[in-house]
Structure 1
Amino acid sequence: MKRLIIAISLISLIFLELLSLFFYKKDVNAEVNIEKGLKTVEIAQKLEDENVILNKYLFVILALIKNQTLKSGLYEFKGKYSVIDVYEKIAKGEVKQKYFTIIPGEDLIDIANKLEKEGIVKKEKFLKYVFDEKNVRKYGLVGSSFEGYFPPESYAISEKETVETLIKKFLKVFEKRYLPYKQKAESKDYSAFYKKNLSFYEAMIIASMIEKEAYYEEEKPIIAGVIFNRLKSDMRLQIDPTVIYALKLANKWDGKLNKSDMVIDSPFNTYKVKGLPPTPICSFTISSLEAVLNPTKSNYYYYVLSKDRKRHIFSEEYETHLKNIKENLK
């Protein structure tokens, strides 16, 4: 009888010791990414490797008892956590908020590359959707693609994003930020649009070119003025970023613009085609759009980037422009 009591006591102590491990809270400071499709054992191993839990087997036992679906995502653990706390956090899907950032001047191809790199959606799937004019029309928008409609911003992203849910997020910001300008353009009661005989979409196109061309904010209205001067004079715009965009669409961009690239056959090549490109060429900021509406009046028709790449040098005459090119593009 005495031996039985001792045995029961030992078993009870072991059980209580084991039970205490489930409730023991340890200091944790780690981020763990739980990929989709991982088995419970693999999740437990990852948590142990990252020093989030003491023992992977405790986590597996708990998972067998609870029998809940463990959700994928990026989890942040800061503070004191027990194995139970960790399990509950993952079972509830309390992921760390993830953000996707569109930088001013990025185009749809740049965005697609980043989306795939960050594991949000596949590049090809995204590009196929955003360059389909039928999808653009579905949202009541103008243009043959969504280029220019995704504003620079950091967007809160979930683990269940699709191409369409992303586009809705992007367009929600676009509407909030740019809708006042669009409404003014369409009502013809805004002198800046009316005097220049611009549609809002045309203003978007010019704003995107300014975004790519301007190195500094103060240069934007001056560059806008040059663009309008050239348009009024029926001159080709000859804007390098439009050629780069054409090369990217043709999958021919290698990161360096060569003289031979200037002859690429594309409606975006403003060295060959007069007028505006058919769509914007990138995302743009409000300041670029404001520059379109309030350009600096001047007689400038040309500009070249300075040798130190800190500013543009503007000129009225072509001969002066050639001299500036010679002096600054050595």
Structure 2
Amino acid sequence: MKLLSAALVLIILFFAAYEIFLFFEPLKIDETLIEINKGASAQEIAQKLYRKNIIRSKNWFYIYVKLSGKDKQLSWGKYLFFGNYSLLDVVEKLISGKVVLNKLTIPEGLTIRKTCRLLSRNEFGNYLKFKKLCNDSLYASQLTGFDIPNLEGFLYPETYFFPESASEDYIIRTLVNRFFTQTAELDFNPTLGLDFYETLIVASIVEKEARVESEKPLIASVYLNRIRYGMKLQADPTVAYILEQMGRTRYRIYYRDLKIESPYNTYLNKELPPTPICSPSYTTIKAVLHPQESDYFYFFADKSKGTHIFSKTYSEHLQKQRNLKKKNGK
């Protein structure tokens, strides 16, 4: 009987110690952003915190805030949790108010280098840390599921709101996750034998060529026609990308630039560049997946209008260039 009583006491003490552990022992939390909706009940908040692995016990959270009257002090908004938090710490954080979010718009058509510079200049993190993450092939493969050398093409252009304390890793993951979220509805059925990644590469070239949204499907058709007939793409933006990687950013491409030896030089190689050359927008990717039907193989820019002039043959292409020069008095 005494043994039974002792065993019962030990069991009670064990469970008491365990409950104290759930209440007071800090929990290590990976970088997690959570949004508490306006008007959410204490029970709903407890459920969300538990699902996000921010608290060990939703029951203890609910009991504590109800008995202490703190359930009425919990503030709605977005909170970033990172590090060690006890249940009491979590409650105090939610009472403290909303996390300040900083806005940043990432335009379409930026390279890794320019995206990292934009993030750094707006004080979202360290340029070298951003760049190192984006060019880490293992990291890129883990985030995308593709065996790729870097994250070029996956840093989705959009307006973001980041917490002040967000790390470089958190920000880059957010950009890549947004890419997959926004493009999920697109049907990436192989076009001309192009797989998902190759489609993204072509889209990145179209992004850098197009100045008018309505021209994207037509520009895409030119490049896809060239691929279909085994022609070199001869895309100036691929040469501009080489120059940027060499630290030679300029607005004009010279004839000597077309001879630079590089797998990205589409004047020398029939193959696609090994990676995208920028991050294209949703509409540009869609234009490559659903191009306008055409017999065009050539185009050049009409700088006075900000559009392009398209041709079916090279001789027609040259004639239209001469006509435009004559029209402009050159």
Contact 1:305 1:328 in 2 (8 A): no
Distance 1:195 1:118, change over 3 A: closer
Q: Does 2:114 correspond to 1:110?
A: yes
Alignment of 1:24-63 (within 5 A): none
Candidates 145, 149, 153, aligned match of 1:148: 153
Alignment RMSD: 2.1
Q: Does 2:234 correspond to 1:238?
A: yes
Deviations 1:9-37 (A, max 9, x none): xxxxxxxxxxxxxxxxxxxxxxxxxxxxx
Q: 2:249: which partner in 1?
A: 253
Q: 1:177: which partner in 2?
A: 182
Distance in structure 2 (CA, Å) of the matches to 1:168 and 1:307: 38
Q: Does 2:129 correspond to 1:100?
A: no
| 1:253 positional shift | 2.3
Letter in 2 for 1:294: H
Distance in structure 1 (CA, Å) of the matches to 2:313 and 2:278: 30
Candidates 296, 305, 310, aligned match of 2:306: 310
Distance in structure 2 (CA, Å) of the matches to 1:196 and 1:235: 13
Q: Does 2:167 correspond to 1:162?
A: yes
| 1:315 positional shift | 0.3
Gap regions ≥5 residues in structure 1:
1-91, 186-192
Distance in structure 1 (CA, Å) of the matches to 2:284 and 2:302: 21
Contact 2:130 2:172 in 1 (8 A): no
Candidates 137, 142, 149, aligned match of 2:141: 137
SS in 1 for 2:149: coil
Candidates 279, 284, 287, aligned match of 2:280: 284
Gap regions ≥5 residues in structure 2:
1-95
Distance in structure 1 (CA, Å) of the matches to 2:273 and 2:128: 24
Alignment of 1:79-90 (within 5 A): none
Letter in 2 for 1:162: S
| 1:93 positional shift | 8.1
Letter in 2 for 1:113: R
SS in 2 for 1:180: coil
Please list every run of at least 4 consecutive aligned residues from structure 1 whose deviation after the TM superposition is greater than 3 angstroms.
Answer: 92-96, 326-330
TM-score w.r.t. structure 1 length? 0.65
SS in 2 for 1:237: coil
| 1:166 positional shift | 0.7
Q: 2:213: which partner in 1?
A: 217
Q: 2:193: which partner in 1?
A: 197
| 1:247 positional shift | 1.1
Deviations 1:250-289 (A, max 9, x none): 2222443222211122111111111211111111122111
In our comparison, the structure showing a higher alpha carbon Rg is 1
SS in 2 for 1:111: helix
| 1:179 positional shift | 2.5
Q: 1:44: which partner in 2?
A: none
TM-score w.r.t. structure 2 length? 0.65
Distance in structure 2 (CA, Å) of the matches to 1:274 and 1:310: 28
Deviations 1:42-92 (A, max 9, x none): xxxxxxxxxxxxxxxxxxxxxxxxxxxxxxxxxxxxxxxxxxxxxxxxxx5
Identity %: 35
| 1:119 positional shift | 1.4
SS in 2 for 1:196: coil
Distance 1:160 1:236, change over 3 A: same
Contact 1:142 1:201 in 2 (8 A): no
| 1:94 positional shift | 5.9
